[in-house]
Amino acid sequence: MIFVTVGNGKFEELVQKVDELVAGGKIRDKVIIQLGHGKYKPRQCEWFTFKSPLTPYYRKASLVISHGGPGVVFEVLTLKKKLIAIPNRDRTDPRHQVEYLRAMAKETSALRYCDKVELLESCLNQAKKHRFGQYKSPLCTIPEKIITFLK
């Protein structure tokens, strides 16, 4: 099963593209989509607007396709799931998710960065060959730095 999540906003382009790929036989897996506030209702996929938590869907999924929200990205990577992350440029700052996801893709092989929705089919094909690594969060030294600063 492929689980697609757009978070708390909307990401119409992504939802429409996934629905189109399923309709065209490019995606053959079962697909469940979390739509958020989106208006487009998929015809080829199961969907819902909001549920909490999404963890059961992440756990059941063989692949997660997500917007570039850090909360979702870290949750999926912590669960050791395969992830394709696509920046939602319609959110507040169009560069924010792009910069974050590019940095994450350089840091770890645990996710595949897909720059644009139009490239999703290609990204899915690349993901089939990609060796998804396990995400290892960097060592946090903030507490030590705060203690040193306070001394």
Regarding predicted confidence, which is higher, 71 or 137? 71
Strand order in the sheet with 46-48: 46-48, 31-34, 2-5, 63-66, 83-85, 111-113
Q: How far is residue 65's CA from residue 45's CA, in Å, rounded to a whole number? A: 14
Total domains, the chain:
1
The pLDDT value given to residue 92:
64
User: Tokens at residue 47, please?
Assistant: 């969907």
The conformation of residue 63, written as its DSSP 8-state character, comes to E
Q: 117 and 14 in contact (C-beta within 8 Å)?
A: yes
The confidence score (pLDDT) of residue 63 equals: 97
Q: Is the per-residue pLDDT at 116 higher than 90?
A: yes
Task: Tell the burial category of 50 from Cβ atoms under 10 Å away from its Cβ (0-12, 13-18, 19+).
Answer: exposed
DSSP letter (8 states) at residue 83: E
Q: Is the pLDDT of residue 21 over 80?
A: yes
- Could you give the CA distance from residue 49 to residue 66 in angstroms, rounded to a whole number? 14
pLDDT band at 53 (very low <50, low <70, confident <90, very high): very high
Alpha carbon distance 90, 53 (integer Å): 24
5 three-state secondary structure: strand
Confidence of residue 145 (pLDDT cuts 50, 70, 90): confident
**pLDDT band at residue 93, thresholds of 50, 70 and 90?**
low
pLDDT value at 91 more than 80: no
Instruction: Say which CATH number the domain at 105 has.
Output: 3.40.50.2000
Average pLDDT over residues 61-67: 97
pLDDT at 140: 79
Q: Provide the Cα torsion 49, 12, 85, 118; round to 10°.
A: 150
Q: Structural domain of residue 25, as residue ranges?
A: 2-150
